[in-house]
Structure 1
Amino acid sequence: MAAASDGARRVVVVGYDGSELLDIACVTSTLDLAGRIAGRPLYRVELVSPAGRAVRCDSGLRLESGGSLQRTTGPIDTLVISGGEGHEDAAAEETVVAHVRRLAALARRTVSVCTGATVLAAAGLLDGRRVTTHWRYASTLRERYPGVEVDPGPIFIRDGGIATSAGVTSALDLTLALVAEDHGPQLARTVARALVTHLQRPGTQAQMSVFTAPDPDHALVREVVAHVNANLSARLDTATLARSAGVSERQLHRLFVEHLGMPPGQFVRRTRLDAAARLLADTGQPFATIARRCGFSSVETLRQAFVQQYGVPPSRFRATSTPPVTAH
């Protein structure tokens, strides 16, 4: 473990022009809060950038860099590559890619946030690995780096010493998972409560749901997505959806993969699961009612799908997701 004399783990965050501020802040603020709650330094976080220049974020705000990417050396506990609109320029810059590759070899684990996965892929660090990124960029990552297994579904994926996460705030979920790994789940839960965020959102949680519904550019895909969201209890197999949309199954499959990063059947399944998750968390409806409303043939079918996707049964999800009622 790369740690200072006080035992704090060294975390190096790589930023560049066009970085998303939330990609950086979700990581750095969470790690800082973990130390404040613990009452001792747990992480020493450094923001580095090409040539040590200030990082101009997507929003136009500027962050002062703590050092030069080129001059940063190991050992490093955790290397974090931020994402943002500038990810393609960063991935095309040989100096950035070479030094990310160098630092990853000096780090115990390497993490990307959102489109930071593009930089890791350009460095050859994702070849042969299962990874995720923001669903909007998943198909592009898959096409440009065919040696990488891109799964746009989960909010984060850990494959060996490399972890990748989806868009922006999923960095918070991944960072909480890292805190739990380093210092135990109790501290991670305490940090989550302090951040007023979900206590236990596992990496298998789907990125897209009817509550953060994708808005694809393609009109036909948008219409099918709207139909799915409005008719979860109906028959929604690919053949039925294609027939309703007036296209072939093959065409619908191609359009969904191109614009949503997944085939229609997978989208339907995850949309149903996310709707069930919201009903479990926000209502006291019986499991049978939720299963029927969300298109599951039985409570057992819902339970099996829930365990496969989220790693917990619906009963446990409801218990950990529903806030306690406070008497007034």
Structure 2
Amino acid sequence: MHRHIGFLVYPGFVLLDLSGPLEAFSNVRHYSTGGYRLSVVSMTGGEVRSACGLSVITEVLRAEAFDTLLVVGAPEPPEGAWVMELATAIRRLVGDTRRTASVCTGAFLLAASGLLDGRTATTHWYYAAQLQARYPAVRVDGDRMWSEDQGIWTSAGMSAGIDMSLAMIEQDLGKQVALAVARMLVVYYRRPGGQYQFSSLLDCDPGSDRIRSTLSFAREHLRDKLSVERLAEVANLSVRQFGRAFASSTGMTPARAVERLRVEAARPQIEGGRQTFEEIARLNGFIDAGRMCQSFLRVIGRTPQELRRGAREVDALPLPARLEPAPRAPYRKAGR
């Protein structure tokens, strides 16, 4: 059985929001006979231009049953009269659709359709507050990589769409197939939905040279005692000024930011399984392994023990055999 997935695009969509999930689902064919039938659809059909200028050819969105409908995102939250037209079309389709999903700002279209009312959803960290303000009935969690609530899936921006797609593949076909696809795509398999969107801290541009240099200092000195006073000294601000400036630039307190930096640095070491938890805690500035465990629970909702155990289970999984394509008929010139 091939599950039919419709990828819904519109003018100005983000190409990676489409191509990332599309490649993930497409690569399933190498490892499972129960794969997917993939269609890129739009309201009008035909050529649809992406934000980067590359166009894709689409089919007309029809009132047909998809197994999964995935709405891609755009560089900015969709606005205009066409939004409600598209949201209404989405609403009509979901009655016969097993799964509905969005990548990045595609969540604004799901919210406009009313599908996210009363549900937990995520989007790109930069637009989470705007989604919450525009649609107060939605429980927006802007920290999550992806979220699933009663068959409605939403993900953060860009590469997070691949993480969500891998989770769907695992749900449909099992962990072994999802792992094989992740390895084929050369992406990190173990980013769970509850993991923070670290880009909101590690890759952000705070807009302030002082805060930027403070974050760089913290990353390079995780083993040290990084008190607010010490960080304020690096920023050359008073403690009070620094606290306000840091929260304004990053959306969190300095203590929370340092904790997240330490968790992010420690996680690969934990999953690698070569060092004790006490050693890892010491290397990354935690007081002890117990405090490190508490930080992991706060930041990603999982203990170091769970992460290490999960990593070992994944590494021990045998990959499914790559399916060989059917032999092609020999090429013949016309008229022979």
TM value normalised by structure 1: 0.81
Percent identity, aligned pairs only, is 34
Contact 1:210/1:275 (8 A) holds in 2: no
Q: Report SS of the residue matched to 1:35.
A: helix
- Following superposition, the deviation at residue 119 of structure 1 comes to 1.5
Residue aligning to 1:26: 20
State the shift of 1:273 in Å. Answer: 0.9
Instruction: Name the aligned partner's letter for residue 106 of structure 1.
Output: D
RMSD: 3.2
Distance in 2, Cα, partners of 1:221 & 1:281: 31
Q: Which residue does the alignment assign to 2:191?
A: 201
Distance 2:161 2:11 in 1: 19
Matched, 1:61 2:54: yes
Alignment pair present for 1:15 and 2:9: yes
Conservation of the 8 A alpha-carbon contact between 2:117 and 2:137: yes
Residues 127 and 148 in structure 1, CA contact (< 8 A), matched pair in contact too: yes
Deviation digits for residues 269-326 of structure 1 (CA, Å, limit 9, x no counterpart): 3222111123446795543232123232212332344356263525336647999xxx
1:45 to 38, 61, 64: 38
Cα deviation, residue 113, structure 1: 0.7
**2:5 match: secondary structure:** strand
Bigger mean CA deviation after superposition, 124-133 or 233-242 = 233-242
The answer to whether the 8 Å contact 2:147/2:154 transfers is yes
The alignment of Structure 1 onto Structure 2 pairs a total of residues equal to 312
**Residue 173 (1) aligns with residue 171 (2):** no
Note the C-alpha offset of 1:175.
Answer: 0.6
Partner secondary structure for residue 98 of structure 2: strand
Question: Could you tell me whether the CA contact under 8 Å between 2:65 and 2:97 is conserved in 1?
Answer: yes
Structure 1, residues 44-94: CA drift from partner, whole Å, max 9, x if none?
1111112114221122110001223xxx11322111110122542378622
Q: Which residue among 151, 173, 181 is the counterpart of 1:183? A: 173
Identify if the C-alpha distance between structure 1 residues 147 and 242 changes in structure 2 by more than 3 Å, giving closer, same or farther. farther
Q: Is the 8 A contact 2:104 2:123 kept in 1?
A: yes
CA contact (8 A) 2:272 2:308 kept: no
In the TM superposition, what is the alpha-carbon distance from 1:15 to its structure 2 partner? 0.5
Cα distance in 2 for residues equivalent to 1:244 and 1:130: 38
Of the structure 1 ranges 96-105 and 303-312, higher mean CA displacement relative to structure 2 is found in 303-312
CA distance in 2, matches of 1:210, 1:320: 30
1:133 alignment counterpart: 123
Distance in structure 1 (CA, Å) of the matches to 2:226 and 2:278: 19
What's the CA shift for 1:210?
9.8
CA distance in 1, matches of 2:172, 2:311: 27
Provide the TM-score with structure 2 as the length reference: 0.79
Cα distance in 2 for partners of 1:143, 1:96 equals: 21
- Over 3 Å counting, the alpha-carbon distance change for 1:162 and 1:321 in structure 2 is same
1:165 is displaced (CA, Å) by 0.8
Q: Per-residue displacement from partner, 1:169-202 (whole Å, max 9, x unpaired)?
A: 1111111110110111111112112222223221
Shift of 1:220: 5.1
The one-character-per-residue Cα deviations of 1:115-173 (angstroms, maximum 9, x if unpaired) are 11122122222222222211122222223223322222221111221111112111111
Instruction: Could you tell me which runs of 5 or more consecutive residues in structure 2 were left unpaired when the two chains were aligned.
Output: 317-336
SS in 1 for 2:147: strand
- The CA distance in 1 between the partners of 2:204 and 2:52, in whole Å, is 22
2:273/2:308 contact within 8 Å kept = no
> 2: CA distance between counterparts of 1:259 and 1:156?
24
Letter of the aligned partner of 1:167 in structure 2? Answer: G
* CA gap 1:122/1:269 in 2 versus in 1, 3 angstroms: farther
The residue type equivalent to 2:59 in the other structure is: G
Whole-angstrom CA distance in 1 between matches of 2:183 and 2:26: 15
Instruction: State the match for 2:325 in structure 1.
Output: none
Q: Which structure 1 residue ranges, 5 or more long, are not aligned?
A: 1-6, 324-328
